[in-house]
Structure 1
């Protein structure tokens, strides 16, 4: 289903920040922020913020810490707004040369920020952290940052090497990332539609995976694969280069594996990851049971890859954007007036860009803009799944709202906790939609959730396996397009088992998923599984004791940069190292699979 031609899908409003990219106000602030980075570097030099083994945690160090943290928080506030403003143009039209040029300038400042961050971490690592926290109110407010800095400092190269690595990243990993993003956002795919061959943006072609017609889905799948194959060589070069850089720097920083560095970045340990992955694998038979039930519903012996997102329940409600807006605002308000007013504000102030179009990136995301404001990108169609995606991204924005009173350094939330509010808000809306749904609508809603949960648990496991194999083999040499495709389909076979037609798997999923293409984040996949299951666990707690949960939930969201996921979960009575916690969350999914299967098999 597609949006009605009579409904104009919104574009986000960025004029509240600056009138335009060529506005004098924007250029003034761009120059000022770029100068502020140079001033910050001079401040670091003057105060001796660098690695030193003989430094004392004395009054001079305390004063330096307080001064640097205050200045850095202020700079981050200004820089974040500028970067989000510029990226809003790049994300919605990657062919915008003015925006791309401005983003390139800001990427150079990102390198300066990385250098400053490494210097600060190394300097804190040479202090007595507990003395610093005890004697400085600013350090007490940033105690989690201080303690993590001491640990991270053990994995830093020399100051000269860290500075060189940051500079080279601009023409290394960051450049490869931009190549990938620009290339894939501008891909036009030839495809037959209504007897004619037309060219559509890749995002629109991938949306055809939700078309009711199996023939349309098949044609779209084949056209998509052909397009990825044509573009595979530069994309593979980007992937090999990024992963090679991650491996080289990881070795120099004494990380045993890229996964160990990723676990540190995400604030969890291997025991937590193993408990979650073990519990998830236990539930693979249930996900396969869901996929077999969907095959029966579609009248096929075995699902093809292009059937994974096929709509079911025919005749279900069409969720135009205005309908989705009204429903989401109402359900958020049922949870709490504060959440309802927040959602209404997001729509009223035009925080959302919803129209799929050429040059716009695919998928969906939410980014913090300034203070308590966010901006949300979606590619809306009129399916229930699209409505739930909108609720999900609004959940991210609600998380940003609760973080707004924290300093910028204390807003830094690990990916493992970044999905906490989004999953919770999506679940609120989905369960509300189920309460007033017909049988066909119930099937559609359950399918929207289960297909997403299957992606986050089963498919993300395949992506985790792929990335593990990728790092192991890339340590020896570059990998060819054919090798990457084989690794990808092998991982899909290990996770989906025999429920999918092996002739229709997606060998280019390594090219589809932008999560692989960042030199700053490896293993960008498992945090989504963590987020889904942690969010479902929180929702179950909300159902058990609504008033007690509501009294603490916003505070939890406000604290995601102040403590590790393990510690925050422990405050709620959850042990993340125990498979039992993850099994309890997966039981929520299993109940929906049971319900879906029962509806499918009703004669």
Structure 2
């Protein structure tokens, strides 16, 4: 039985009062934002008439955005403490509506900035007041070929709520309406299958439990196959619509343009992984041998190789391990991690109604916050290290960049978190206490490669195929989705795996397919982190300094340039290959452990 929120000790809760002490303070900021929105409206149509008008508009937008970030982050984190709390639901809903309103009211800015004559804009930027906004204006001017008239931009901004209907319908169907059947657990007791316990069942030592969970999960999804196909196709069409409306060549170009990423980076990832599938196939063959199976099925993928070992990592011990593992990053970094532990950045344990999973969040004016549901196991230890990486990246970005350039791009968002995990893995392999523990940790690390590099690349290839088909006016039916997805699984997992028919429906379970062309960033981020951690652990004297500078650069540059300065060129296939070479070495090491 889970504890209620008020039963959790304060030392294990985050300190959201450091943002707003009470609802009155929150409401004052809501009112400030509304007043500022009225002020910024006055510049619609006249933004480019003088340098002062341009400055006033940008300054007001910065104030609005910074305040709105505080209200949005606070209300949603407060709701996540107990999602059943209707008052907090209402406040987070208020923030959502305000965000849409901000987008609508300020939609005139980019078209008007773009319409300013180049010579006049250069004169404006000589004004000292406008110099802090030069990078922002440069970023806006990049979008000139893809920006519409002020009225058209306003219409697109107003359409955002409608455009999210497919994703909202998916969320409601998948997480609220669907009811899964009961299955028998390891003790023979009837337990209802849920999203929350599905992954645990797939790790069960009892193969029949794994199989029943797998079959019942996808049989249930199959009953709604046409609805899920309609929601996913709707999401794909949404991205294609916005890409076409803005004159991009394709949905993928529109998505990559925001981060200034070349399509070659996306294609290289898929191609290099394809050249290294033999290592994945070797790993899965070894897995079959370790598990002593005649056939290895999709429901065996998450089964630990060491049956009897159950590594417990209580939270206090986890903190000590992480501080030791991250020692190669130097004293400055370690002091920051210690602050996260000491200053209540972390909401540690699960309680009734608390949002599941884990994340790192916060605003420019707050310290980072981490939501956990800590379970005293190895996975929780790695999750904590992962989220601390995100928090360190956010902290350094905010402390070293002005507000407008403090938000790093999603493309690099997984680098710091994954690098922390890789340093932790290196530490734990070097300090394993038995052969079984070493195999267990090796397997855990190899699974990170399988699920983060190979599997996310498979997802990326699936996304590319379905968008191209839709752009070529091909209808995406449930059957089409299933066939594409099944064939990709057969390709990625190889002939030694029995690719069960049910896996063809897995696409219907993946929320990330509604954040188009996002998942490839997990694979590229992991690969970049593998190269950077290799540089750090190999004793490169400048590697740590370059890495910390990368963390501090925030959103002041585009991601590929940031990573090049840190020591990894993601436009070069070698960046992916270095990570896969590490994977190959670990597979060979596992083979020797048989």
When normalised by structure 1's length, the TM-score is 0.87
Q: Output the CA distance in 1 between the equivalents of 2:266 and 2:279.
A: 21
The reply to whether residue 428 of structure 1 matches residue 398 of structure 2 is no
Distance 1:228 1:124, change over 3 A: same
Q: Output the CA distance in 2 between the equivalents of 1:246 and 1:222.
A: 32
Deviation digits for residues 39-70 of structure 1 (CA, Å, limit 9, x no counterpart): 33x25327426xxxxx7xxxx23x33433333
The reply to whether residue 85 of structure 1 matches residue 74 of structure 2 is yes
Q: Output the CA distance in 2 between the equivalents of 1:439 and 1:229.
A: 42
Deviation digits for residues 142-191 of structure 1 (CA, Å, limit 9, x no counterpart): 54433332121211222212211111211331x44344445544466433
Q: Paired residue for 1:145?
A: 136
Q: Output the CA distance in 2 between the equivalents of 1:385 and 1:221.
A: 21
User: How far off is 1:360 after superposition?
Assistant: 5.2
SS in 2 for 1:317: coil
Distance 1:153 1:117, change over 3 A: farther
Q: Paired residue for 1:75?
A: 64
Q: Paired residue for 1:210?
A: 203
SS in 2 for 1:508: helix
Q: Output the CA distance in 1 between the equivalents of 2:465 and 2:334.
A: 45
The reply to whether residue 595 of structure 1 matches residue 594 of structure 2 is no
The reply to whether residue 460 of structure 1 matches residue 456 of structure 2 is yes
SS in 2 for 1:228: helix
Structure 1, 436-445 or 179-188: larger mean CA deviation: 179-188
SS in 2 for 1:376: strand
The reply to whether residue 403 of structure 1 matches residue 406 of structure 2 is no
When normalised by structure 2's length, the TM-score is 0.88
User: How far off is 1:418 after superposition?
Assistant: 0.9
Deviation digits for residues 336-363 of structure 1 (CA, Å, limit 9, x no counterpart): 2332232233233443345457765554
Distance 1:39 1:192, change over 3 A: farther
Q: Output the CA distance in 1 between the equivalents of 2:124 and 2:520.
A: 33
Structure 1, 401-410 or 487-496: larger mean CA deviation: 487-496
Deviation digits for residues 246-267 of structure 1 (CA, Å, limit 9, x no counterpart): 1112111111111111211232
User: How far off is 1:325 after superposition?
Assistant: 2.5
Q: Output the CA distance in 2 between the equivalents of 1:13 and 1:512.
A: 34
Q: Paired residue for 2:466?
A: 470
Deviation digits for residues 15-42 of structure 1 (CA, Å, limit 9, x no counterpart): 433456xx333333333334433433x2
User: How far off is 1:297 after superposition?
Assistant: 0.8
Matches within 5 A, 1:197-596: 197-199=190-192, 201-229=194-222, 234-313=227-306, 314-333=308-327, 335-355=329-349, 362-371=356-365, 373-405=367-399, 406-437=401-432, 438-475=434-471, 476=473, 479-503=476-500, 506-518=503-515, 522-572=516-566, 574-596=568-590
The reply to whether residue 27 of structure 1 matches residue 23 of structure 2 is no
Distance 1:233 1:12, change over 3 A: farther
Q: Paired residue for 1:191?
A: 183
Q: Paired residue for 1:105?
A: 94
Distance 1:587 1:43, change over 3 A: farther
Distance 1:584 1:373, change over 3 A: same
Q: Output the CA distance in 1 between the equivalents of 2:284 and 2:429.
A: 20
Q: Output the CA distance in 2 between the equivalents of 1:374 and 1:573.
A: 26
The answer to whether the 8 Å contact 1:395/1:423 transfers is yes
The answer to whether the 8 Å contact 2:44/2:109 transfers is no
Deviation digits for residues 291-332 of structure 1 (CA, Å, limit 9, x no counterpart): 211111111134322222212234252223333233123333
The answer to whether the 8 Å contact 1:228/1:508 transfers is yes
Deviation digits for residues 365-402 of structure 1 (CA, Å, limit 9, x no counterpart): 22224435222234444442332122111100110011
User: How far off is 1:533 after superposition?
Assistant: 0.7
The answer to whether the 8 Å contact 1:305/1:505 transfers is no
SS in 2 for 1:206: helix
The answer to whether the 8 Å contact 2:543/2:566 transfers is no
The answer to whether the 8 Å contact 1:458/1:496 transfers is no
User: How far off is 1:482 after superposition?
Assistant: 4.1
SS in 2 for 1:507: helix
Q: Output the CA distance in 2 between the equivalents of 1:102 and 1:479.
A: 38
User: How far off is 1:548 after superposition?
Assistant: 1.6
The answer to whether the 8 Å contact 2:368/2:394 transfers is yes
Q: Paired residue for 1:124?
A: 113
- RMSD of aligned Cα (Å): 3.2
Deviation digits for residues 543-576 of structure 1 (CA, Å, limit 9, x no counterpart): 2345422223222112141112232233345443
Q: Paired residue for 1:36?
A: 36
Structure 1, 491-500 or 330-339: larger mean CA deviation: 330-339
Distance 1:226 1:352, change over 3 A: farther
User: How far off is 1:480 after superposition?
Assistant: 3.9
Unaligned runs of 5+ in 1: 50-54
Distance 1:84 1:236, change over 3 A: farther
Q: Output the CA distance in 1 between the equivalents of 2:348 and 2:309.
A: 24
Q: Paired residue for 1:17?
A: 19
User: How far off is 1:534 after superposition?
Assistant: 0.8
SS in 1 for 2:570: coil
Deviation digits for residues 466-513 of structure 1 (CA, Å, limit 9, x no counterpart): 212322344437644444333322222232232431126523332322
